[in-house]
Amino acid sequence: MHISRRGAAFALSCGMLASLPAMAADEPRYNQVSLRAEVSKEVARDLMVVTLYSEAQNTDPGKLAKQITETMNKAVQQAREVKDVKISQGSRNSYPIYDTKGQKITGWRERAELRLESADFPALSKLTGELLQDLKMGGMDFSIAPSTRKASEDDLLKDAVAAFKSRAQLATEALGGKGYKVVSLNLNSSGYPRPYLRSAPMAMMAKAADEAAPAPDIEAGTSEVSMSADGLIEVQVP
């Protein structure tokens, strides 16, 4: 009786081992494929950014600092009167001026910056023209507001995933596969500025403020916002 039980156990073990190759042969086989899909759209730049600055020099650094401070304070107070304009003060630097031999300090020069942002282009354009009576123009640029960019990226995210799935299906069919599964998927966004014209030169803006004329039209241009889907799939092959 004892011998027959051991014999039965041995026969069962052999049967299981013999079935393992057959089970492995029935398991699905997969080929890994890396894919990339990208979608994009043009988005209007709806945020205007202007940088102004005050710069002067004086032999007395104390008087110079006072002069710059008063000029900047006046500009900030004037900007606060305009609705929906975000105000931030930029860098402020002071450095000595030397004589021709570079040994003796003959004076001091100081510069302070003021940064203005607004989605109301006409209002900020008019304000800029008025501030150019006391300040100088450091630069004018346009960008996509954070809320606008987020909404655009949310719309593109669905399109990017759909484009990735479409490519995955094409790859599966090209390999003669029965189906696929997504191993990993990364979504990334980016924006590329397009060249644009500043239709309101600084001199025109200052002149418009002098003559109480309408503010010049501003052409902000567009940016191409893109969303890419990079991933890895496993294609089931017969």
In this structure, which amino acid lies at residue 82?
V
- Read off the pLDDT band of 216 (50, 70, 90): low
Task: Indicate whether 12 pLDDT > 90.
Answer: no
Q: What six digits make up the tokens of 104? A: 């003796």
Task: Indicate whether 13 pLDDT > 50.
Answer: no
Check residue 116 and give its pLDDT: 97
CB count, 10 Å around CB of 37?
19
Phi first, then psi: give them for residue 18, nearest 5 degrees: -70, -25
In what helix (H) or strand (E) does residue 31 lie, and over which residues does it extend? Answer: strand 29-44
Q: What average pLDDT score do residues 226-234 get?
A: 95
> pLDDT higher for 151 or 214?
151
Residue 129 CA: distances (Å) to CA of 78, 82, 151: 12, 13, 32
Task: Indicate whether 182 pLDDT > 80.
Answer: yes
Q: How far apart are CA 203 and CA 209, in angstroms?
A: 10
Task: For residue 159, give the nearest of 28, 67, 37, 54 by alpha carbon.
Answer: 37
Q: How far apart are CA 118 and CA 159, in angstroms?
A: 30
Check residue 102 and give its pLDDT: 84
pLDDT above 90 covers a percentage of the chain that reads: 68
Check residue 29 and give its pLDDT: 61
Check residue 27 and give its pLDDT: 61
pLDDT in tens, 35-47: 999 999 999 999 9
In this structure, which amino acid lies at residue 227?
M
- Read off the pLDDT band of 26 (50, 70, 90): low
Task: Indicate whether 15 pLDDT > 90.
Answer: no
Q: What average pLDDT score do residues 64-68 get?
A: 96
pLDDT in tens, 85-98: 999 999 999 999 99
pTM of the full predicted structure? 0.67
Check residue 225 and give its pLDDT: 92
- Read off the pLDDT band of 190 (50, 70, 90): confident
Q: What average pLDDT score do residues 124-134 get?
A: 95
Q: What average pLDDT score do residues 8-16 get?
A: 41
Q: How far apart are CA 139 and CA 202, in angstroms?
A: 9
Class of domain 47-143: alpha beta
Q: For the chain, what are the domain ranges?
A: 47-143
Task: Indicate whether 200 pLDDT > 60.
Answer: no
